[in-house]
Amino acid sequence: MKKIILSSLFTFVYLLSYCGEGMWLPFLLGKLNEQDMKSKGLKISAEDIYSTNKNSLKDAIVSLGGFCTAEVISNQGLILTNHHCGFDAIQNHSTVANNYLKEGFWAKNNAEEKTNPGLFATFIIKMEDVSEQILTGVNQNLTEKERQSIISKNISSISGSYKKEPEQDIKVVPFYDGNQYILFVTETYSDVRLVGAPPSSIGKFGSDTDNWVWPRHTGDFSLFRIYAGKNNKPAKYSPDNVPYVPKQSLKISLDGVEDGDFTMVYGFPGRTQEYLPSVAVNQVANVLNPIKIQIRENTLESMNVFMRVNEQIEIQYASKYASIANYWKKWIGESQGIRQTNAVEKKQNYEKEFTNRIQNNPTWNSNYSTLLTQLNDSYKAAEPYYILRDQFSQIFTNNEMLTMTLQIDRLIKNSENDDEKTWQAKLQKQKDAITDFYKEYNADLDRTIFARIMPLLSIKDSKLIKPSKSISLLSDNKNNYELLSNSLYGKTAFKSKESLFDLLDGSREKVIKKLKKDKAYIFATDISSEYYSKVDPKIKEYQEQINKLQRSYIKAQMEVFTDKKFFPDANSTLRLTYGNVAPYNPKDAVNFTSKTYLDGVMEKYKPGDYEFDLPKKLIDLYKNKDYGIYTDKTGKVPVCFIGSNHTTGGNSGSPALDANGNLIGLNFDRVWEGTMSDINYDPSICRNIMVDARYILFIIDKYANATNIIKELEIVHPKKY
């Protein structure tokens, strides 16, 4: 008994000991975090970080494309982000003749900068708590559908009446699972041009082997520029547009970091689930992640075989491979981290403390006594459906033929009542998408992927779906997926742009007749039809239950644990996280220091290797010790460093800032052992990885000789050695 009580108490104390963790709303820093931040080393005020009354650091931070963060680093709209965030743009401008992925790209002037249709940069103008207005009329007796209907109407009302400039947008976002609502005023610039990027042998050095790994030696950065109309307001692309003049740009410190130095990361983290019950954490680590890992592993192995022997395929699939590998490796590390840190057991102990507290309070006991039991039952009942969901979604997104069949199926279903003119307009839009799709498609590679991953769905043995047509096609091929893949890909119209265009030639009725004869289309749509009719509705039913219970659970935790600061889960909104430069000890007898150097890049160098090759000029700079002003007190060029900042996907490209708000690095990854921080942040092993600002400038200046870029920057020295 004594042991159990001590274990529970230790877990709770542990949770409270690291209240500096979290992804905090910038407009609440003064109220919740400023004192703690200053005790850890912050030298500026909360209003210097976020303000609506004056220019502040927030005015230099942008959401890039909705998937990464970038920051303004000059008074001419120059923005810095990761190489992997700019990878698609770099790839789209690359050809075999001008392979910017391989050689790098550096615009010598504005005229050489390259346009990127679809890429945008969004600034946050203002944040405001509108919970009271949004939750007016909401009560516990409503169904989820009724609740959401009232909330949607309230959001529409406030969005329509809120005062803003014509070029600004309004967005209202839920926090704490719908217990709080924040209004964002945003300003989006859609003319964003590529300015510079190192070759992948620098920007992606280490590739998949080093992804999510420390020590790291990757120069993961690229440069873009925001363009505006002549009035400095957002404008569609035009050759007459001019570089955006920002309200605020970041100064860049060349003084570097030491262990214990205060650090901040400012950006748009994507998604975390820090307040899940233990049953859900166990489900993620031990049931769902292994399924997704296996499907992606088979996909990557198939892609790798083709990419290593064909440069054209390597260019076509480089971005796709990187994207698939990214979360494949993340999920492996996440599951291992959850097990290594006993996250499930810690959650269970936390839940015991929660239960003990509510049992000693009649009101809490009346409101919350069955919450955890209900959550546990709902997650267990939903599990077989979640398994099939992840199998279906991973297979149908990692195999491109299946992806395209469902796109065409949606086109058919969404045009049922269209006249011929409307049909042809939709068809042309789809054909434009098809043209882009097949520029980066290889049917032989895709067929190999199909044969490797389709068996993992087990359509013949499933208890939840019975796609009879698909099962029949499999039986016709002796239940052999290799034979089935040859049969489907050999005759399908989906194997090339030309054959698919032929199929889509004609009226809607004519196209449908041809589709009904295409075995690949029959196979894919039979499975998807079963999934969406039998599985998807059950998932929505269970998810509705879980969402309602989780909303009550987070509300209950905030009531019960009044001595704990609760940060809202990440949801792609602007956040600030803070910590310190810190080494770590991931396992027995392994101790990692907090910094890496150019020496380590050379130690990893493997001539001709696709992951660890290096450009000759970088090697020459190293041999000649031609480092310029970009060394630390050791006389070496720093490359990367780690800190205890709580980050996630979406924080890629976020600035790492010092105590004075100067840029000291660029966030781009987390250590593998700590990727479970999306679910369970553990300060002992959770570290974010940042490119040192001095390495970025060293590459721009000494490697690329891009002095035009260097001249734009404001470089400072806030401390002396």
- Answer yes or no: are the C-beta atoms of 64 and 70 closer than 8 Å: yes
The residues near 515 (Cβ < 8 Å, ≥ 6 apart) are 408, 412, 503, 521
- What per-residue string of b and e applies to 283-322 under the rule 16 or more CB within 10 Å gives b? bbbeebbebbbebbbbbbebbeebbeeeeebbbbbbbbbb
- How far is Cα 531 from Cα 535, in angstroms, rounded to an integer? 5
DSSP 132-151: HHHTTT--TTS-HHHHHHHH
Please give the sequence-ordered ranges of beta strands (E in DSSP) within 305-386, or none if there are none.
Answer: none
Q: Which of 207, 335, 652, 677 is catalytic?
A: 652
**Which amino acid is present at 550?**
Q
Name which of 269, 340, 280 is nearest 63 in CA terms: 269
How far is residue 189 from each of residues 26, 119, 128, 266, measured CA to CA in Å? 22, 9, 22, 20
**Which amino acid is present at 438?**
Y
- How far is Cα 665 from Cα 69, in angstroms, rounded to an integer? 13
Please give the sequence-ordered ranges of beta strands (E in DSSP) within 39-107, or none if there are none.
Answer: 61-64, 68-72, 78-81, 105-106
Name which of 385, 392, 327, 315 is nearest 91 in CA terms: 315
Q: Are strands 715-716 and 252-253 parallel, antiparallel or unpaired?
A: parallel
Name which of 375, 127, 105, 352 is nearest 222 in CA terms: 105
Please give the sequence-ordered ranges of beta strands (E in DSSP) within 623-662, or none if there are none.
Answer: 638-643, 655-657
The crossing angle, in degrees rounded to 10, of helices 536-560 and 343-359 is: 60
**Can 84 be counted among the known catalytic residues?**
yes
Name which of 50, 79, 49, 51 is nearest 64 in CA terms: 79
Q: Which of 177, 210, 220, 446 is catalytic?
A: 220
The crossing angle, in degrees rounded to 10, of helices 371-398 and 443-453 is: 140
Q: Which two tokens stand for residue 246?
A: 């920002």
**Can 17 be counted among the known catalytic residues?**
no
Q: Which of 56, 74, 83, 84 is catalytic?
A: 84
3-state secondary structure 671-710: CHHHHHHHCCCCCCCCCEEEEEHHHHHHHHHHHCCCHHHH
Q: What positions carry a catalytic annotation?
A: 84, 220, 652
